[in-house]
Amino acid sequence: MTGAGGRVGGAALRALVARGRAPIALVRDPRRAGSLAERVEHRCCDLDDRAGLEDAFAGIDALLLCSGHGPDLLGHQLNTIAAAQDAGVRRIVKISASPASVFEGSPNRAAANHREVEAVLAHAGVEYTCIRPNAFIQGVASSRAAIADGELPLTLGDQALSWVDTEDVGEVAAGALLAGGPLPEVIPVTGPQALTGVGLAEILTAVTGRHVLYRALTDAEQQNRLRAAGAPAWLAEHVVSIFALLRERDGDRVTDAVEHWTGRPATPAADALTRDADKLGLELATSMQEEIRT
């Protein structure tokens, strides 16, 4: 499993362990992997290292292809596919980008990179599927300071978005890694309902116990806000452009993929945020803390 130390890869790994499997995690540095490297078998290699990857994939039957998005994603993932082909990997499950963003000529660079990887995978001579998750609900925590001040700043306008829990995405990936029979080329994965900015702010109010109001930003305001908070230019551009696509191209679509691949309903945003509040640096309402204790 590549990306096993990350959010989606980590969730896929936990799901496989919960199903009694013994996944092997690829880590670039066991010190960075922390307890992961102690809990499961791991092999060390950087996704930059094409030859090292081929050695690391020896004897591997099915591979999770997942790496953090950023300027290196394309090179890393193409390296991984080439090494997996040469090592004789039979099945690859790729974590791609949001269904709204992956299409020919997508103006979003990360989505265009994911699409290019998907196209290479389609001709790699392996069984494969491309999981396209909608925006991760955990991503709202990047606005944790504003949320603590009672504001949810997004460039969603009046549109709704079917935010998805990263644990659900990982569980779907685990299901696809283990599934018998042919896989669909694409699995669009969403949360259970589409939420407007106002709807999500109400959920954050209930979860944090602070009155949170949605603040609809323009793209330029968001870009300036992210840059002022220290985000690199590529990330600020990415966030603005991905939300433009989510607004304009069915970011509110809801699929039944979680139920289909895991046998249980998709996790509501409120439950995912409450469960992960500590990790995400979100303050929890006293009533929620009591609910968790009981």
Ligand X SMILES: NC(=O)c1ccc[n+]([C@@H]2O[C@H](COP(=O)([O-])OP(=O)(O)OC[C@H]3O[C@@H](n4cnc5c(N)ncnc54)[C@H](OP(=O)(O)O)[C@@H]3O)[C@@H](O)[C@H]2O)c1
Contact residues for 14 (Cβ-Cβ < 8 A; gap 6+) = 167, 170
Query: Taking a C-beta distance cutoff of 8 angstroms, is the pair 120, 81 a contact?
Result: yes
Count interface residues toward ligand X (CB under 6 A): 24
Q: For the segment 84-123, give every residue that binds ligand X (CB under 6 A).
A: 95, 97-98, 110
Query: Taking a C-beta distance cutoff of 8 angstroms, is the pair 283, 211 a contact?
Result: no
Q: Which stretch binds ligand X (CB under 6 A): 6-14, 145-153, 203-211, 274-282?
A: 6-14
Nearest of 20, 105, 21, 124 to residue 65 by alpha carbon: 124
Binding track over 130-169 against ligand X, x by CB under 6 A: ---x-xx--x------------------------------
Using CB under 6 A as the binding rule, whether residue 30 contacts ligand X is answered as: no
DSSP character string of 80-111: HHHHHHHHT--EEEEE---TTT-STT-S-HHH
Question: Could you say which of 1, 8, 187, 245 contacts ligand X (CB under 6 A)?
Answer: 8
Helix axes 269-280, 286-293, angle to 10 degrees: 100
In degrees and rounded to multiples of 5, residue 216 shows phi and psi of -75, 115
Q: What is the closest distance, in whole angstroms, from the C-beta atom of residue 203 to ligand X in the complex?
A: 17
Query: Which of 193/289 has CB closer to ligand X?
Result: 193
Binding track over 35-74 against ligand X, x by CB under 6 A: -----------xxx-----------------xxxx-----
Please provide the size of the chain in residues.
Answer: 294
Name the residue number minimizing CB distance to ligand X: 6
Q: Give the other-Cβ count within 10 Å of 196's Cβ.
A: 18
How far apart (Å, rounded) are the C-alpha atoms in residues 181 and 51? 31
Q: What is the closest distance, in whole angstroms, from the C-beta atom of residue 122 to ligand X in the complex?
A: 18
Q: How far is CA 245 from the centre of its chain?
A: 17
Query: Taking a C-beta distance cutoff of 8 angstroms, is the pair 188, 99 a contact?
Result: yes
How far apart (Å, rounded) are the C-alpha atoms in residues 167 and 173? 10
Query: Which of 142/205 has CB closer to ligand X?
Result: 142
Residue type, 68: G
Q: What is the closest distance, in whole angstroms, from the C-beta atom of residue 81 to ligand X in the complex?
A: 14
Query: Which of 77/262 has CB closer to ligand X?
Result: 77
Query: Which of 277/288 has CB closer to ligand X?
Result: 277
Q: What is the closest distance, in whole angstroms, from the C-beta atom of residue 151 to ligand X in the complex?
A: 20
Query: Taking a C-beta distance cutoff of 8 angstroms, is the pair 33, 1 a contact?
Result: no
Residue type, 86: D
Query: Which of 148/235 has CB closer to ligand X?
Result: 235
Q: What is the closest distance, in whole angstroms, from the C-beta atom of residue 29 to ligand X in the complex?
A: 6
How far apart (Å, rounded) are the C-alpha atoms in residues 165 and 168? 5
Query: Which of 94/288 has CB closer to ligand X?
Result: 94
Question: Could you say which of 18, 19, 21, 32 contacts ligand X (CB under 6 A)?
Answer: 32
Sign of CA dihedral 21, 118, 68, 7: negative
Query: Which of 246/288 has CB closer to ligand X?
Result: 246
Query: Which of 92/95 has CB closer to ligand X?
Result: 95
Using CB under 6 A as the binding rule, whether residue 9 contacts ligand X is answered as: yes
Positions touching ligand X (CB under 6 A) are: 3, 5-9, 28, 32, 46-48, 66-69, 76, 95, 97-98, 110, 133, 135-136, 139
